[in-house]
Amino acid sequence: MNRTAARYQRVLSGVSDVVSRIPGDLWNAPSPCTQWTALHVLGHLVDGQHQIAALITGQGPREPLKDPVAAVGGDPTSTWAATTLHMDSLLAVVDPAAVIPSHHGDVTVEAVLGTAVIEPLIHAWDLAQAADLAVSLDEEAVATCLAVIAPMAEQFAATGMYAPARAARMNAAPQQRLLALLGRGTG
């Protein structure tokens, strides 16, 4: 497994850690994602992993579900465990150099994983916030995403998928700087 796939797998494991600590009664708690509960966020992550699986196996792009909660079923923890088990098996055998079709033309599996890691990384934090849990995000993934997002935070906010950047404290840790760039946290 190459470094990018290993990083992606670690980030999924970080989501698993948060999911395992969310009490059943907090799945309907509001998340930092406007109008989404923790269950919506998890459904979005489950559906997102199905989309990534389709991409990295060469099936091509797949549209997201309109209702992310539909991806979760009746047991959020088991659904996420099955999702990560499937992704782990794919990440163990996929060729990072394979060229695959995507929404942006032909790209490598490694490029897809390198870009897509932002979703589980940031949504792990969103899930933790919904359940009032502490979380430390994967440091390497944070550093990688921070380097990419810092010069184009306004473009991320313009997509409507992220809130406008917030100011971060001068001495803020990388995790706090990344969260602030994506309109989250206190900076």
- DSSP three-state, residue 101: strand
Using CA atoms, how far apart are residues 4 and 115, in angstroms rounded to an integer? 10
- Is the pTM of the predicted complex or chain greater than 0.85? yes
Tens of pLDDT, residue by residue over 75-126, are 999 999 999 999 999 999 999 999 999 888 999 999 999 999 999 999 999 9
Which residue(s) pair with 100 in the sheet? 107
The amino acid at residue 82 is A
Per the structure block, which two tokens stand in for 34?
């406007």
Task: Determine contact, residues 83/46, Cβ cutoff 8 Å.
Answer: yes
Q: Which domains does the chain have, with CATH numbers?
A: 3-133 (1.20.120.450), 138-187 (no CATH)
The amino acid at residue 20 is S
- Position 1 scores a pLDDT of 75
Residue burial 62-76, b: 16+ Cβ < 10 Å; e: rest: eeebeebbebbeeeb
DSSP 8-state code for residue 100 = E
Task: Determine contact, residues 96/113, Cβ cutoff 8 Å.
Answer: yes
Task: Determine contact, residues 163/183, Cβ cutoff 8 Å.
Answer: yes
Tens of pLDDT, residue by residue over 10-61, are 999 999 999 999 999 999 999 999 899 999 999 999 999 999 999 999 998 9
- Position 178 scores a pLDDT of 92
Long-range contacts of 183-187 (CB under 8 A, 24+ apart): 183/157, 184/32, 184/122, 184/125, 184/126, 185/125
Could you give the angle at the alpha carbon of 67 between the alpha carbons of 176 and 157, nearest 5°?
Answer: 35
